[in-house]
Amino acid sequence: VQNASVLELKKALRRHVQLRQARQGGVQHLSWKYISRTYHLTYAGEKLADDRKKLREYGIRNRDEVSFIKKLRK
């Protein structure tokens, strides 16, 4: 949904991964706290840092690919 926020996208990714793992019988638990501390969610090389920002503000549309990149240590 184009009116969705980045936070809603993150929640949808979480649900999708959990359902997929349940179907495939994979790892039962992932630490999403660890993932959020260790990786940035990105789209076209831009970090999706503001959870309140709408997806359309980043130019994200249906079927676009987002990815996780590892955060650099300080």
Averaged pLDDT for residues 11-30 = 86
Q: Tens digit of pLDDT for each residue in 32-42? A: 999 999 999 99
Q: Say if pTM beats, i.e. exceeds, 0.75.
A: yes
The Cα–Cα gap between 10 and 2 comes to 14
Q: Judge contact between 60 and 6, C-beta under 8 A.
A: no
* Model confidence at 26: pLDDT above 90: no
Domains and CATH numbers, the chain: 6-70 (3.10.20.90)
Compute the mean pLDDT over every residue in the chain, rounded to the nearest whole number: 90
pLDDT at 27 over 80: no
Residue 52 DSSP class: T
